[in-house]
Amino acid sequence: MLVLSIWITTAYATQYSHDPGTGLETWQVEADGIQVRLTQIGSEQAQAFYQARGFSVDNAKYYASSCVFMTVVRNIGDATIEHRLSDWRYVPDGGRPRSIRSKREWGKIWIQRKVPESARIAFTWAQFPNTQSFSPSDWNQGMTTYQLPPGARFNLIFKWREDGKLRRGEIDNVRCTDESH
Amino acid sequence: MKAIKLVAILFAALSLTAAAGDLPALSHGLTAHAAKKPAPPLKLKGIDGQVHDIAALRGKVILVNFWATWCPPCRREMPSMEHLARKLRGENFAVLAVDVGENVDTIETFISQLELDLTFPILLDTSSKAMQAWKVSGLPTTFVIDRKGHIAYSAIGGREFDHPEIEQKLRDLLKN
Protein backbone atom coordinates (compact mmCIF):
# COMPACT_ATOMS: atom_id res chain seq x y z
CA MET A 1 0.00 0.00 0.00
CA LEU A 2 1.46 3.31 -1.04
CA VAL A 3 1.00 6.46 0.97
CA LEU A 4 0.02 9.28 -1.40
CA SER A 5 0.11 12.98 -0.78
CA ILE A 6 0.41 16.16 -2.82
CA TRP A 7 3.33 18.60 -2.57
CA ILE A 8 2.53 22.12 -3.65
CA THR A 9 4.81 23.60 -6.26
CA THR A 10 4.70 26.85 -8.18
CA ALA A 11 3.70 25.33 -11.52
CA TYR A 12 2.59 21.73 -11.08
CA ALA A 13 1.66 19.45 -8.22
CA THR A 14 4.33 16.95 -7.33
CA GLN A 15 2.79 13.65 -6.30
CA TYR A 16 4.75 11.89 -3.61
CA SER A 17 4.52 8.26 -2.59
CA HIS A 18 6.37 6.12 -0.11
CA ASP A 19 6.50 2.35 -0.32
CA PRO A 20 6.65 1.03 3.27
CA GLY A 21 7.72 -2.39 1.95
CA THR A 22 10.94 -1.16 0.38
CA GLY A 23 11.27 2.19 2.13
CA LEU A 24 11.72 3.80 -1.27
CA GLU A 25 10.19 7.13 -2.17
CA THR A 26 8.74 8.31 -5.49
CA TRP A 27 8.05 11.79 -6.86
CA GLN A 28 5.95 12.34 -9.96
CA VAL A 29 4.71 15.29 -11.97
CA GLU A 30 2.25 15.43 -14.86
CA ALA A 31 2.52 18.56 -16.99
CA ASP A 32 1.18 19.38 -20.45
CA GLY A 33 1.34 15.91 -21.97
CA ILE A 34 4.35 14.55 -20.09
CA GLN A 35 4.67 12.49 -16.94
CA VAL A 36 8.04 12.36 -15.19
CA ARG A 37 8.67 10.09 -12.25
CA LEU A 38 11.71 9.62 -10.01
CA THR A 39 12.01 6.63 -7.67
CA GLN A 40 14.94 6.22 -5.31
CA ILE A 41 17.34 3.33 -5.86
CA GLY A 42 19.26 2.28 -2.76
CA SER A 43 23.05 2.10 -2.95
CA GLU A 44 23.21 -1.64 -2.22
CA GLN A 45 20.62 -2.25 -4.90
CA ALA A 46 22.49 -0.19 -7.50
CA GLN A 47 25.75 -1.85 -6.54
CA ALA A 48 24.34 -5.36 -6.82
CA PHE A 49 22.70 -4.56 -10.16
CA TYR A 50 26.00 -3.56 -11.75
CA GLN A 51 28.03 -6.30 -10.09
CA ALA A 52 25.57 -8.75 -11.67
CA ARG A 53 26.47 -7.19 -15.04
CA GLY A 54 30.24 -7.45 -14.89
CA PHE A 55 31.27 -4.45 -12.81
CA SER A 56 33.92 -5.01 -10.14
CA VAL A 57 32.91 -4.33 -6.54
CA ASP A 58 34.92 -1.08 -6.57
CA ASN A 59 33.37 0.23 -9.77
CA ALA A 60 29.84 -0.75 -8.75
CA LYS A 61 30.40 1.01 -5.41
CA TYR A 62 31.72 4.05 -7.26
CA TYR A 63 28.48 4.29 -9.26
CA ALA A 64 26.32 3.58 -6.23
CA SER A 65 27.99 6.42 -4.30
CA SER A 66 25.97 8.78 -6.52
CA CYS A 67 22.37 9.54 -5.73
CA VAL A 68 20.56 7.21 -8.17
CA PHE A 69 16.96 7.37 -9.33
CA MET A 70 14.85 5.19 -11.59
CA THR A 71 13.51 7.76 -14.01
CA VAL A 72 10.35 7.24 -16.03
CA VAL A 73 9.11 9.55 -18.78
CA ARG A 74 5.72 8.92 -20.36
CA ASN A 75 3.90 10.72 -23.13
CA ILE A 76 0.40 11.23 -21.73
CA GLY A 77 -0.67 13.71 -24.40
CA ASP A 78 -1.72 13.57 -28.04
CA ALA A 79 1.41 14.96 -29.68
CA THR A 80 4.93 13.60 -30.09
CA ILE A 81 7.35 14.91 -27.48
CA GLU A 82 11.12 14.82 -27.30
CA HIS A 83 13.52 15.33 -24.42
CA ARG A 84 17.25 16.03 -24.18
CA LEU A 85 18.73 15.11 -20.85
CA SER A 86 21.40 17.77 -21.36
CA ASP A 87 18.63 20.40 -21.02
CA TRP A 88 17.64 19.11 -17.59
CA ARG A 89 19.02 20.65 -14.40
CA TYR A 90 18.93 19.69 -10.76
CA VAL A 91 19.12 22.36 -8.11
CA PRO A 92 20.36 21.26 -4.68
CA ASP A 93 19.08 23.03 -1.58
CA GLY A 94 20.79 26.42 -1.59
CA GLY A 95 22.92 25.47 -4.59
CA ARG A 96 23.26 26.35 -8.25
CA PRO A 97 21.67 24.39 -11.12
CA ARG A 98 23.76 21.43 -12.27
CA SER A 99 23.69 19.19 -15.36
CA ILE A 100 22.94 15.49 -15.03
CA ARG A 101 26.02 13.37 -15.70
CA SER A 102 25.56 11.95 -19.19
CA LYS A 103 26.12 8.39 -20.38
CA ARG A 104 29.06 9.73 -22.40
CA GLU A 105 30.71 11.17 -19.26
CA TRP A 106 30.10 7.94 -17.39
CA GLY A 107 31.49 6.04 -20.39
CA LYS A 108 34.79 7.93 -20.15
CA ILE A 109 34.99 7.13 -16.45
CA TRP A 110 34.38 3.43 -17.08
CA ILE A 111 37.07 3.29 -19.78
CA GLN A 112 39.55 4.92 -17.37
CA ARG A 113 38.54 2.45 -14.69
CA LYS A 114 38.91 -0.46 -17.15
CA VAL A 115 35.32 -1.70 -16.98
CA PRO A 116 34.83 -4.54 -19.53
CA GLU A 117 33.00 -3.68 -22.76
CA SER A 118 30.07 -6.04 -22.08
CA ALA A 119 29.48 -4.34 -18.73
CA ARG A 120 29.69 -0.93 -20.37
CA ILE A 121 27.05 -1.97 -22.93
CA ALA A 122 24.73 -3.09 -20.13
CA PHE A 123 25.42 0.17 -18.31
CA THR A 124 24.61 2.27 -21.36
CA TRP A 125 21.20 0.71 -21.89
CA ALA A 126 20.31 0.79 -18.19
CA GLN A 127 20.69 4.60 -18.06
CA PHE A 128 17.91 6.90 -19.12
CA PRO A 129 18.45 7.86 -22.80
CA ASN A 130 20.18 11.19 -23.53
CA THR A 131 17.48 12.01 -26.03
CA GLN A 132 14.36 10.24 -27.20
CA SER A 133 11.19 10.95 -29.11
CA PHE A 134 7.96 9.66 -27.56
CA SER A 135 4.78 9.21 -29.56
CA PRO A 136 1.51 9.25 -27.63
CA SER A 137 1.45 6.35 -25.12
CA ASP A 138 5.21 5.73 -25.48
CA TRP A 139 7.26 5.66 -22.31
CA ASN A 140 10.69 4.67 -21.14
CA GLN A 141 12.64 4.23 -17.97
CA GLY A 142 16.28 4.22 -16.95
CA MET A 143 18.62 5.42 -14.25
CA THR A 144 19.73 9.00 -13.73
CA THR A 145 22.43 10.03 -11.26
CA TYR A 146 22.92 13.14 -9.16
CA GLN A 147 26.25 13.95 -7.54
CA LEU A 148 24.85 14.63 -4.10
CA PRO A 149 25.34 13.10 -0.63
CA PRO A 150 22.83 10.70 0.95
CA GLY A 151 19.74 12.49 2.24
CA ALA A 152 20.33 15.62 0.12
CA ARG A 153 17.31 17.35 -1.38
CA PHE A 154 17.00 18.94 -4.79
CA ASN A 155 14.53 20.22 -7.36
CA LEU A 156 14.61 18.71 -10.85
CA ILE A 157 13.90 21.01 -13.78
CA PHE A 158 12.96 18.89 -16.80
CA LYS A 159 12.46 20.19 -20.32
CA TRP A 160 10.91 18.73 -23.43
CA ARG A 161 9.90 19.80 -26.92
CA GLU A 162 6.44 19.58 -28.41
CA ASP A 163 5.71 20.97 -31.87
CA GLY A 164 9.06 22.76 -31.81
CA LYS A 165 8.28 24.55 -28.56
CA LEU A 166 10.51 24.05 -25.55
CA ARG A 167 8.49 23.36 -22.41
CA ARG A 168 9.55 23.17 -18.81
CA GLY A 169 8.36 21.37 -15.71
CA GLU A 170 9.72 20.85 -12.23
CA ILE A 171 9.71 18.17 -9.55
CA ASP A 172 10.27 19.74 -6.16
CA ASN A 173 11.92 18.60 -2.97
CA VAL A 174 13.23 15.25 -4.23
CA ARG A 175 15.36 13.46 -1.66
CA CYS A 176 18.36 11.19 -2.19
CA THR A 177 17.94 8.03 -0.20
CA ASP A 178 20.10 7.78 2.91
CA GLU A 179 19.43 4.11 3.34
CA SER A 180 21.21 1.33 1.53
CA HIS A 181 18.14 -0.95 1.04
CA MET B 1 19.17 -12.68 8.59
CA LYS B 2 22.09 -11.34 6.56
CA ALA B 3 21.57 -14.11 4.00
CA ILE B 4 17.89 -13.19 3.62
CA LYS B 5 18.85 -9.56 3.08
CA LEU B 6 21.45 -10.56 0.49
CA VAL B 7 18.92 -12.66 -1.43
CA ALA B 8 16.48 -9.75 -1.37
CA ILE B 9 19.12 -7.39 -2.71
CA LEU B 10 20.18 -9.78 -5.44
CA PHE B 11 16.58 -10.29 -6.51
CA ALA B 12 16.08 -6.56 -6.67
CA ALA B 13 19.34 -6.17 -8.55
CA LEU B 14 18.25 -8.63 -11.20
CA SER B 15 14.94 -7.00 -11.83
CA LEU B 16 15.02 -3.54 -10.27
CA THR B 17 11.27 -3.91 -9.96
CA ALA B 18 11.42 -3.05 -6.30
CA ALA B 19 12.98 0.24 -7.29
CA ALA B 20 10.07 1.08 -9.51
CA GLY B 21 7.70 1.66 -6.60
CA ASP B 22 4.16 1.29 -7.92
CA LEU B 23 5.11 0.09 -11.37
CA PRO B 24 4.27 2.28 -14.37
CA ALA B 25 1.31 0.84 -16.24
CA LEU B 26 1.95 -0.99 -19.49
CA SER B 27 0.11 0.73 -22.32
CA HIS B 28 -1.44 -0.73 -25.46
CA GLY B 29 -0.98 2.02 -28.03
CA LEU B 30 1.05 1.51 -31.19
CA THR B 31 2.46 4.34 -33.30
CA ALA B 32 1.47 3.99 -36.94
CA HIS B 33 4.14 4.60 -39.60
CA ALA B 34 2.57 5.97 -42.77
CA ALA B 35 5.92 6.37 -44.54
CA LYS B 36 6.21 2.66 -45.47
CA LYS B 37 9.89 2.56 -44.58
CA PRO B 38 11.55 -0.82 -45.17
CA ALA B 39 12.63 -2.67 -42.05
CA PRO B 40 16.43 -2.81 -41.61
CA PRO B 41 18.13 -6.19 -42.05
CA LEU B 42 18.15 -8.47 -39.03
CA LYS B 43 20.17 -11.65 -39.08
CA LEU B 44 21.36 -12.99 -35.74
CA LYS B 45 22.12 -16.22 -33.96
CA GLY B 46 19.46 -17.31 -31.51
CA ILE B 47 19.79 -18.96 -28.12
CA ASP B 48 18.75 -22.15 -29.95
CA GLY B 49 22.04 -22.00 -31.89
CA GLN B 50 20.23 -21.33 -35.19
CA VAL B 51 20.69 -18.23 -37.34
CA HIS B 52 17.42 -16.30 -37.77
CA ASP B 53 17.05 -13.95 -40.73
CA ILE B 54 14.09 -11.60 -40.95
CA ALA B 55 14.39 -11.77 -44.75
CA ALA B 56 13.29 -15.41 -44.60
CA LEU B 57 10.01 -14.30 -42.98
CA ARG B 58 8.93 -12.01 -45.84
CA GLY B 59 5.18 -12.38 -46.39
CA LYS B 60 4.49 -12.61 -42.66
CA VAL B 61 3.55 -9.91 -40.18
CA ILE B 62 6.52 -9.78 -37.80
CA LEU B 63 6.76 -8.36 -34.30
CA VAL B 64 10.39 -7.44 -33.53
CA ASN B 65 11.01 -6.73 -29.86
CA PHE B 66 14.33 -5.38 -28.50
CA TRP B 67 14.73 -6.24 -24.86
CA ALA B 68 17.03 -7.33 -22.01
CA THR B 69 16.46 -9.31 -18.85
CA TRP B 70 17.48 -6.42 -16.58
CA CYS B 71 14.82 -4.15 -18.07
CA PRO B 72 11.67 -4.30 -15.87
CA PRO B 73 9.06 -3.43 -18.53
CA CYS B 74 10.72 -5.91 -20.92
CA ARG B 75 10.24 -8.65 -18.35
CA ARG B 76 6.66 -7.62 -17.70
CA GLU B 77 5.60 -7.54 -21.34
CA MET B 78 7.23 -10.84 -22.34
CA PRO B 79 4.29 -13.09 -21.25
CA SER B 80 1.86 -10.90 -23.21
CA MET B 81 3.98 -11.40 -26.34
CA GLU B 82 3.73 -15.13 -25.85
CA HIS B 83 -0.04 -14.88 -25.36
CA LEU B 84 -0.25 -12.89 -28.61
CA ALA B 85 1.89 -15.43 -30.45
CA ARG B 86 -0.43 -18.20 -29.27
CA LYS B 87 -3.56 -16.25 -30.25
CA LEU B 88 -2.18 -15.78 -33.77
CA ARG B 89 -0.77 -19.28 -34.13
CA GLY B 90 -1.54 -20.64 -37.59
CA GLU B 91 -1.61 -17.14 -39.09
CA ASN B 92 1.20 -15.57 -41.12
CA PHE B 93 2.64 -14.07 -37.96
CA ALA B 94 6.05 -14.31 -36.29
CA VAL B 95 7.74 -12.84 -33.23
CA LEU B 96 11.48 -12.17 -33.00
CA ALA B 97 12.71 -11.16 -29.53
CA VAL B 98 16.16 -9.59 -29.78
CA ASP B 99 18.09 -9.60 -26.52
CA VAL B 100 20.69 -6.85 -26.29
CA GLY B 101 24.10 -7.45 -24.76
CA GLU B 102 23.50 -10.56 -22.66
CA ASN B 103 24.65 -14.16 -22.78
CA VAL B 104 22.62 -17.34 -23.20
CA ASP B 105 22.90 -18.35 -19.52
CA THR B 106 21.45 -15.05 -18.32
CA ILE B 107 18.57 -15.25 -20.78
CA GLU B 108 17.78 -18.88 -20.03
CA THR B 109 17.74 -18.16 -16.29
CA PHE B 110 15.09 -15.51 -16.92
CA ILE B 111 13.06 -17.71 -19.26
CA SER B 112 13.06 -20.54 -16.73
CA GLN B 113 11.35 -18.19 -14.24
CA LEU B 114 8.42 -17.52 -16.57
CA GLU B 115 5.19 -19.35 -15.97
CA LEU B 116 4.83 -20.26 -19.64
CA ASP B 117 7.21 -21.55 -22.30
CA LEU B 118 8.21 -19.12 -25.01
CA THR B 119 7.43 -20.41 -28.49
CA PHE B 120 9.25 -17.67 -30.42
CA PRO B 121 13.00 -17.40 -31.03
CA ILE B 122 15.25 -15.20 -28.92
CA LEU B 123 18.09 -13.63 -30.91
CA LEU B 124 21.41 -12.49 -29.49
CA ASP B 125 22.51 -8.93 -30.27
CA THR B 126 25.60 -9.18 -28.09
CA SER B 127 27.33 -6.11 -29.54
CA SER B 128 24.07 -4.08 -29.78
CA LYS B 129 24.81 -3.43 -33.48
CA ALA B 130 21.34 -4.57 -34.59
CA MET B 131 19.82 -2.26 -32.02
CA GLN B 132 21.80 0.63 -33.46
CA ALA B 133 20.86 -0.31 -37.05
CA TRP B 134 17.20 -0.19 -36.02
CA LYS B 135 17.82 3.17 -34.29
CA VAL B 136 16.61 1.92 -30.95
CA SER B 137 17.49 4.31 -28.13
CA GLY B 138 15.88 2.58 -25.17
CA LEU B 139 14.50 -0.77 -24.06
CA PRO B 140 12.00 -2.14 -24.68
CA THR B 141 11.31 -0.96 -28.22
CA THR B 142 9.07 -2.93 -30.56
CA PHE B 143 8.38 -2.79 -34.28
CA VAL B 144 5.60 -4.40 -36.28
CA ILE B 145 6.60 -5.24 -39.84
CA ASP B 146 3.92 -5.70 -42.48
CA ARG B 147 3.81 -8.51 -45.04
CA LYS B 148 5.74 -6.41 -47.57
CA GLY B 149 8.61 -5.80 -45.16
CA HIS B 150 7.69 -2.23 -44.16
CA ILE B 151 7.61 -0.86 -40.64
CA ALA B 152 3.90 -0.51 -39.91
CA TYR B 153 3.96 0.31 -36.19
CA SER B 154 6.40 0.94 -33.38
CA ALA B 155 6.19 1.18 -29.61
CA ILE B 156 8.64 2.54 -27.07
CA GLY B 157 8.17 1.23 -23.54
CA GLY B 158 6.31 -1.79 -22.23
CA ARG B 159 3.05 -2.90 -23.82
CA GLU B 160 0.28 -5.39 -23.18
CA PHE B 161 0.69 -7.15 -26.49
CA ASP B 162 -2.30 -9.39 -25.96
CA HIS B 163 -4.60 -6.39 -25.57
CA PRO B 164 -7.54 -6.61 -28.03
CA GLU B 165 -6.60 -3.29 -29.68
CA ILE B 166 -3.12 -4.50 -30.55
CA GLU B 167 -4.39 -7.89 -31.65
CA GLN B 168 -6.92 -6.21 -33.95
CA LYS B 169 -4.22 -4.01 -35.53
CA LEU B 170 -2.17 -7.10 -36.30
CA ARG B 171 -5.16 -9.00 -37.66
CA ASP B 172 -5.86 -6.03 -39.96
CA LEU B 173 -2.28 -6.19 -41.22
CA LEU B 174 -2.62 -9.92 -41.80
CA LYS B 175 -5.58 -9.25 -44.12
CA ASN B 176 -3.54 -6.92 -46.38
- Kindly state whether B33 is in contact with chain A, defined as any CB-CB distance less than 8 angstroms: no
Question: Which strand (E) or helix (H) includes residue A61?
Answer: helix A57-64
Which residue from A122, A117, A123 is spatially nearest to A105, judged by alpha carbons?
Answer: A123
Q: How confident is the model at residue A173 (pLDDT cuts 50, 70, 90)?
A: very high
The Cα–Cα gap between A71 and B20 comes to 9
CA atoms within 13 A on the CB side of B175: 6
- Which pTM does this prediction carry? 0.83
- Mean per-residue pLDDT over chain A, rounded: 90
* Cβ contact B16–A24 (<8 Å): no
Q: Are B133 and B41 in contact (CB under 8 A)?
A: yes
State whether ipTM is beyond 0.95.
no
Helical axes A43-51 vs A117-126, angle rounded to 10°: 140
Q: How confident is the model at residue B112 (pLDDT cuts 50, 70, 90)?
A: very high
Residues 6+ apart with CB under 8 A from A166: A87, A159, A160
- Average pLDDT on B33-43 reads 94
B18, pLDDT greater than 50: no
* Cβ contact A118–B100 (<8 Å): no
pLDDT at residue B128 in the model: 87
Q: How confident is the model at residue B16 (pLDDT cuts 50, 70, 90)?
A: low
> Chain A closest CA to B67's CA: distance in Å?
10
What is each CA distance from B151 to A85, B30, B63, in whole angstroms? 28, 12, 10
pLDDT (tens digit, 9 = 90+) per residue, B53-96? Answer: 999 999 999 999 999 998 889 999 999 999 999 999 999 999 99
pLDDT at residue B22 in the model: 59
* Angle at CA of residue B68, ends B63 and B72, nearest 5°: 100
The Cα–Cα gap between A54 and A43 comes to 17
- Average pLDDT on A81-100 reads 95
Q: Is A118 in a helix, a strand, or coil?
A: helix
- pLDDT over 90 percentage in chain A: 77
DSSP B66-129: EE-TT-HHHHHHHHHHHHHHHHTTTSSEEEEEEEES--HHHHHHHHHHSSS---S-EEEETTSH
The Cα–Cα gap between B118 and B141 comes to 19
pLDDT (tens digit, 9 = 90+) per residue, A25-70? Answer: 999 999 889 999 999 999 999 999 999 889 999 999 999 999 999 9
Question: Which strand (E) or helix (H) includes residue B13?
Answer: helix B2-15
pLDDT at residue B167 in the model: 97
* Cβ contact A39–B21 (<8 Å): yes
Interface size, chain A vs chain B, as Cβ–Cβ contacts under 8 Å: 116
Q: How confident is the model at residue A80 (pLDDT cuts 50, 70, 90)?
A: very high
Residue of B nearest to A3 (CA): B22
What are the beta bridge partners of residue A165? Answer: A162
> Chain B closest CA to A78's CA: distance in Å?
11
Which residue from B141, B155, B162 is spatially nearest to B67, judged by alpha carbons?
Answer: B141
Strands B61-67 and B51-53, by their bridges, are unpaired
Amino acid found at A137: S
Cβ-Cβ contacts under 8 Å, A141 against chain B: 20, 24, 72-73, 157
- Kindly state whether B31 is in contact with chain A, defined as any CB-CB distance less than 8 angstroms: yes
Mean pLDDT check: name the lowest of A13-22, A26-35, B113-122.
Answer: A13-22
The Cα–Cα gap between A143 and A124 comes to 10
- Mean per-residue pLDDT over chain B, rounded: 88
- When CB atoms are compared, the residue of B10, B14, B31 closest to A138 is B31
Q: Which long-range contacts (CB under 8 A, 24 or more apart) does B109-112 make?
A: B109/B69, B110/B69, B110/B75
